[in-house]
Amino acid sequence: MSSTYLPNGLPQPGTGPDGVSEPYWAGTREGKLRIQRCSACQSWQWGPEWICHRCHSFDIEWVEIEGRGVIYSYERPHHPVHPALNGHGPYLVVLVELPAHGKVRMLGNLLGDPLQEVVIGAAVEAVFEPHDDAEPPYTLVQWRRVG
């Protein structure tokens, strides 16, 4: 049984030359889920940007949060579009809304049976999924049902 939800061989996350998301990926390696909050107007923001879309402050901080949310939408891809997924079968992707943090949304896989029924509005929590053997190593944030 693989320790990761999807098989190895998929493209790996990176920050690229822009680098705006570097604190997020550094955080997940330490088991910390960090998203952006504007220091000037306190607005939560996700995904990462250099500027606050509301007040245009460049003073954006990375705040560690508790990874709890509700399923906002989902999909179950069947047709593989990457060789690493050939023969793997369907898998679940959820878009998770974080009510305590400005209703920002995060995306990940829903752990467990890929054929399970998915209910919009159901509560989920974040789970760290390290890919220690990758070069460079990285950690994804996944989601599982609670309650």
Partner 1 sequence: MSERSLRGKTAIAGIGETTYYKHGQSPHSEFKLCLEAVVNACADAGISPHEVDGFASYGDDRSDAGHLAAALGIKELKFSNMFWGGGGGGVCGAIGNAAAAVATGMADCVVAFRSLAQGQYRRYGRSSAAAQLSGDDSFVVPYGVMSPAQRFAMKVTRFMHDHGIHQNALRAISLACYHHAQTNPNAVMRGRPLDEEKYDHSRWIVEPFFHLFDCCQENDGAAAVVVVSAERARQLRQKPAYIMACAQGSDTRSAAPVHNMPNYASSHFGQLGPRLYQMAKMTPADMGIIECYENFTGGVLMSLVEHGLVKPEEANDVLVKDNLIAPDGRLPLNTSGGNLAECYMHGLELVHDAVRQIRGVAINQVKNNDTAIIMGGPMVTPVSSLILGSEATL
Give contact residues for partner 1 (rule: CB under 8 A): 6, 10-18, 21, 25, 46-49, 53, 72-79, 81-82, 85, 90-91, 93, 95, 104-109, 120, 140
- State the nearest-atom distance from the C-beta of 108 to partner 1, in Å: 6
- State the nearest-atom distance from the C-beta of 107 to partner 1, in Å: 6
For partner 1, the closer of residues 8 and 42 by Cβ is 8
Q: How far apart are CA 112 and CA 48, in angstroms?
A: 28
- State the nearest-atom distance from the C-beta of 77 to partner 1, in Å: 5
Residue pair 131/139 in contact (Cβ under 8 Å)? The answer is yes
Q: How far apart are CA 141 and CA 82, in angstroms?
A: 21
Q: At 89, phi and psi to the nearest 5?
A: 95, 175
| Residue showing tokens 């560690």 | 64
- List Cα–Cα distances, 125 to 6, 8, 34, 97, 98, in angstroms: 18, 23, 14, 11, 10
For partner 1, the closer of residues 62 and 72 by Cβ is 72
Q: How far apart are CA 40 and CA 37, in angstroms?
A: 9
- State the nearest-atom distance from the C-beta of 146 to partner 1, in Å: 19
Class of residue 125 by CB neighbours under 10 A (exposed 0-12, middle 13-18, buried 19+) = middle
- State the nearest-atom distance from the C-beta of 117 to partner 1, in Å: 10
For partner 1, the closer of residues 50 and 58 by Cβ is 50
